[in-house]
Structure 1
């Protein structure tokens, strides 16, 4: 508990978490407003539409996760931390936990603020959370943000440089997974099992929250897993990558 408290103080006494939280909410809300504001009877808004901008917030949260680690390496404060607590695995595990909890909170605020904004912009459309799929599509965003932040922390530990870690995360998260589909023959098969594609399957399932219309939201995930197994797969990937990063950091010089 002491390590968690220390990491919480270290994280929340800097400006980056607050700016990242604001940026996540504003970016996702702005993109959602743009889409929902143009909804019509021909292309109605749905619960899935209210989360159209979730990837914008996700990118910001992953930047936050990477910076929580790389800034300590940049200013060498990580050495002081490891000198005070020689158990590096415990320190880094506490850091990842605190970042994940903050990302969870940011994700929930982002998702529900986008949904609430959509209710104001399109009150005539059916945006009620009246099914399990609808609730998961909104409330599940925070869960995806939490595990994504763990991936970002892991990348930060492995790369150690802010620019490099952030560039790698942005390129992969925003472009690389989609580009894999362009590989002749095997691209689609590989894409089915890539982590963020699988995470999106947890959020959207078979499209129930979009009313069965792909035009009412981003393209559905191609993952063959059920939403529950998709979450387990994504969580397992995040925890495995984080474990590898912690073991690596424990063996390398600070």
Structure 2
């Protein structure tokens, strides 16, 4: 518990996490307000529409999680951390846990906040969470941002430089996965198993009803929604294990 408290203090003692949290929340809620407020009629505003800004908010959350690690390497405070805590595994797990929980709660607040704003602007719209798919699209956002933060922390540990880690994460999550589909013959098959595409399957996938989704991009994954979440969670854990093993083998 002491390590968790220390990591919490370190995270919130700088300005960048606060700015990132405000920006992520503002982007997601702002897009929901913009789309809901400009809708021609209430029938065009559904639960998925309120989550249009998720991709933009997720990008900011990835930056937040990455900075939590790379900032320590930049200012060499990571050396002090490893000196104070002989077990690098414990220190890095504590940091990952704090950042992931904060990211998960932030994602949850942003999702419900977006839904709430849409309800205020379009009170006649059908925005009730009446199905498992509706709940997954809203409450599931917190789970996706939780595991996405684990991936971002892992990349930060591996690369250690802010510019490099942020560039890799944003380029991969926003561009590279979609570009894979352009590879002749095998591109589509590979894309089905890429992590962020699979994570979108959890949020948007509904095996029972075909829905038009305007939030996170429709996924090409063939996994069930909960199977997709398990896959994404497993990927994040593997990334973290690789990052911790690497951190233990090299100098701080």
Relative to the length of structure 2, the TM-score reads 0.95
What's the counterpart of residue 187 of structure 1? 187
- Using a 3 Å threshold, how does the CA distance of structure 1 residues 219 and 107 change in structure 2: closer, same or farther? closer
What's the counterpart of residue 61 of structure 1? 61
What's the counterpart of residue 95 of structure 2? 95
Question: In 2, are the aligned partners of 1:192 and 1:224 still within 8 Å (CA)?
Answer: yes
- Using a 3 Å threshold, how does the CA distance of structure 1 residues 228 and 83 change in structure 2: closer, same or farther? same
What's the counterpart of residue 224 of structure 1? 222
Consecutive unaligned residues of structure 2, counting only runs of 5 or more, are none
Measure how far apart 1:216 and its partner are. 4.7
The whole-number CA distance in structure 1 between the counterparts of 2:217 and 2:70 is 34
The whole-number CA distance in structure 1 between the counterparts of 2:3 and 2:206 is 41
What's the counterpart of residue 120 of structure 1? 120
Cα deviation per residue 1:205-230 (whole Å; 9 max; x = unaligned)?
1287xx73426545421110011110
Measure how far apart 1:32 and its partner are. 2.1
Relative to the length of structure 1, the TM-score reads 0.94
Matched, 1:160 2:197: no
The whole-number CA distance in structure 1 between the counterparts of 2:214 and 2:83 is 53
User: 3-state DSSP class of the match of 1:163?
Assistant: helix
The whole-number CA distance in structure 1 between the counterparts of 2:68 and 2:244 is 14
Residue pairs, 1:1-254, within 5 angstroms: 1-40=1-40, 44-206=44-206, 212-214=210-212, 216-217=214-215, 219-254=217-252
Question: In 2, are the aligned partners of 1:154 and 1:241 still within 8 Å (CA)?
Answer: yes
Aligned residues: 252
Farther off after superposition, 116-125 or 167-176: 116-125
Question: In 1, are the aligned partners of 2:181 and 2:188 still within 8 Å (CA)?
Answer: yes
Farther off after superposition, 25-34 or 77-86: 25-34
The whole-number CA distance in structure 2 between the counterparts of 1:217 and 1:16 is 26
Question: In 1, are the aligned partners of 2:49 and 2:215 still within 8 Å (CA)?
Answer: yes
The whole-number CA distance in structure 2 between the counterparts of 1:54 and 1:80 is 36
The whole-number CA distance in structure 2 between the counterparts of 1:218 and 1:38 is 20
